[in-house]
């Protein structure tokens, strides 16, 4: 298994372009990661990476070896999956990604229950509001909210999620409650923006009597963390657009109040994205089925905190 471990380390160093990043990914020290690469290079009799103090680049041998190494790892995963399926005992480690709000409120609370049913499956849940690259980041699946770009990933649509525009009573007392999207822009309301590299959330698509319309919103505050936007809205700093399930408890308590209700946001699609080589893996199948069924129920029921 040492050779397989070395292969896994090599592919992650290749994909992440960093020994330290690959070490974090594989939960070991940079020294251990470097030793594994050195052991693999000694076995092959070639250098796989050119290293300097500032960069790490694959050699020509490294580039040639990467596809083969990936094929070996995929073949091992497929063989293990077939054996586990035959034994009806899925096991192993899953690497799963989700946006912050979705992950914290819907997916993370499900994991203790999942582990009771499948104690041999470990889950590594990574939460971020940035756009993830499922293949290059070594993920087994990613839950996604929003418009999907063309890709080779298998897409399992979970649900169309209602969204809401909301602000605190303090903000409304100072600035008023805009009736619709036109008033939102006309009265120059402070809109709280989700922003990260590649994001395009400075236009909100709202439902109007003439159908969906895009509004170029403005605001003094932006963040790459959706929960920060909620905190700002609670503090009276502006208007936030959120999936309703994320702030349902704040709406129920009155800490946040729906605004511009004549122009509600269009629904946003929630989906589960799977790399093609992971689609038949038993642990991927049971986890995705488990989470998707409960998320669909949660969204359909309109509950605030529990599934």
Domain ranges of the chain: 2-85, 93-152+270-301, 163-266
Q: How confident is the model at residue 302 (pLDDT cuts 50, 70, 90)?
A: low
pLDDT on residue 307? 37
Determine how many CB atoms are found less than 10 A away from the CB of residue 244.
Answer: 19
Residue 225 has pLDDT above 80, yes or no: yes
Residue 31 has pLDDT above 80, yes or no: yes
Q: Does domain 93-152+270-301 have CATH number 3.40.190.10?
A: yes
Domains 93-152+270-301 and 163-266 share a fold: yes
Residue 199 has pLDDT above 80, yes or no: no
User: 196 vs 192, which has greater pLDDT?
Assistant: 192
Q: What is the mean pLDDT of residues 85-98?
A: 79
pLDDT on residue 85? 60
pLDDT, tens only, 122-144: 999 999 888 788 877 888 999 99
| Top-tier CATH class for 163-266 | alpha beta
Q: Alpha helix locations (H) across the chain?
A: 2-16, 19-25, 30-44, 60-87, 100-102, 111-117, 169-175, 181-186, 226-234, 244-253, 282-301
pLDDT on residue 179? 94
Q: How confident is the model at residue 1 (pLDDT cuts 50, 70, 90)?
A: low
With a CB cutoff of 8 Å and minimum separation 6, the contacts of 297 are: 307
Burial class (CB in 10 A: 0-12, 13-18, 19+), 109: middle
pLDDT, tens only, 236-268: 999 999 999 999 999 999 999 999 999 999 999
Q: What is the mean pLDDT of residues 105-131?
A: 91
> What's the CATH fold of domain 2-85?
Arc Repressor Mutant, subunit A (1.10.10)
Q: What percent of the chain has pLDDT over 70?
A: 92
């Amino acid at each position: 298994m040492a050779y397989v471990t070395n292969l896994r380390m090599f592919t992650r160093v290749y994909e992440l372009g960093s020994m330290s990043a690959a070490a974090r990914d594989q939960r070991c020290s940079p020294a251990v990661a470097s030793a594994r690469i050195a052991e693999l290079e000694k076995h092959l009799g070639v250098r796989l990476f050119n290293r300097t103090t500032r960069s790490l680049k694959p050699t020509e041998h490294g580039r040639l070896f990467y596809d083969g190494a990936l094929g070996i790892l995929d073949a091992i995963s497929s063989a293990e999956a077939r054996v586990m399926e035959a034994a009806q005992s899925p096991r192993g480690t899953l690497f799963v990604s989700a946006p912050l709000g979705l992950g914290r409120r819907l997916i993370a609370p499900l994991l203790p229950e999942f582990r009771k049913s499948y104690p041999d499956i470990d889950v590594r849940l990574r939460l971020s509001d940035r756009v993830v690259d499922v293949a290059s980041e070594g993920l087994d699946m990613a839950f996604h909210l929003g418009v999907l770009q063309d890709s080779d990933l298998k897409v399992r649509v979970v649900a169309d999620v209602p969204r809401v525009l909301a602000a605190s009573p303090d903000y409304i007392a100072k600035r008023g409650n805009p009736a619709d999207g036109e008033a939102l822009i006309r009265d120059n309301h402070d809109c709280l923006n989700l922003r990260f590299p590649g994001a395009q959330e400075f236009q909100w698509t709202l439902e109007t009597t003439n159908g969906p319309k895009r509004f170029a919103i403005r605001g003094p505050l932006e963040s790459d963390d959706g929960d920060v936007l909620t905190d700002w809205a609670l503090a009276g700093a502006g208007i936030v657009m959120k999936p309703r399930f994320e702030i349902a408890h704040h709406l129920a308590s009155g800490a946040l109040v729906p605004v511009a209700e004549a122009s509600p946001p269009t629904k946003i699609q929630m989906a589960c994205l799977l790399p093609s080589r992971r689609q038949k893996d038993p642990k991927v199948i049971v986890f995705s089925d488990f989470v998707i069924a409960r998320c669909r129920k949660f969204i359909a029921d309109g509950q605030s905190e529990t599934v």
